[in-house]
Amino acid sequence: MTQIEVILLSLLCDKDYYGYEFETVIEQRNMRGWTNIGFSSIYNSLNKLEKNGHIVSKYEKEYGSPKRKVYSIKDETKVLIKEQIIKMISEYNSDPSEFDIGMLFSYLLIKEELKEALTNHKENLIKRKEFLLERYDQHPTARQRPHIKALFERPLAFLDTEVLWLEEFISENF
């Protein structure tokens, strides 16, 4: 599932929306600041999600305005989106917006599911760090060549920071 599809489906878990409302919510929540969502991709994704049977739509008329196509999510799709959110939080991904999107909609999970997903994410970060350290140790000239050294040490520092943040977040919230 694409990021935009996850976002649209997650929003539909809260309530039904018409097309332009998605744009408004995305702008209000400043989602474009940390993920790539184009205005036209909203409608393209809604059409694709409807064609694939994840959502349904109907036309509604409000007083004083033209008919609008209103989208709603199917119950079975709610189960799929919850699984996708858990996956986005649990797995290590070099694209941080995957984790951010998962966390944005983590309120759709029960507390135990979120804690388990965060714990899994932490374990995956530790495995990634071990892998990088092993590669760093095996590289014949990494410690002597600053540009190669930086390619190992910078991501290792990010991983350390992320693990520390996760440990603190988990202990404070669970």
DSSP code string of 31-90: GGGTS---HHHHHHHHHHHHHTTSEEEEEE--TTS--EEEEEE-HHHHHHHHHHHHHHHH
Task: Give residue 121's pLDDT.
Answer: 97
Sign of CA dihedral 150, 155, 156, 157: positive
Distance CA(69)–CA(17), nearest Å, equals 8
pLDDT over threshold 80, residue 142: yes
pLDDT over threshold 80, residue 166: yes
Q: What is the pLDDT of residues 3-26, one digit of tens each?
A: 999 999 999 999 999 988 999 999
CATH of domain 3-104: 1.10.10.10
pLDDT over threshold 80, residue 33: no
Distance CA(157)–CA(129), nearest Å, equals 9
Task: Give residue 120's pLDDT.
Answer: 97
pLDDT over threshold 90, residue 99: yes
Task: Give residue 109's pLDDT.
Answer: 97
Task: Give residue 38's pLDDT.
Answer: 83
Task: Give residue 34's pLDDT.
Answer: 78
Unique residue bearing structure tokens 């993920």: 35
**Angle formed at CA 91 by CA 88 and CA 95, multiple of 5 degrees:** 70
Q: What pTM did the predictor assign? A: 0.85
Task: Give residue 36's pLDDT.
Answer: 80
pLDDT over threshold 90, residue 138: yes
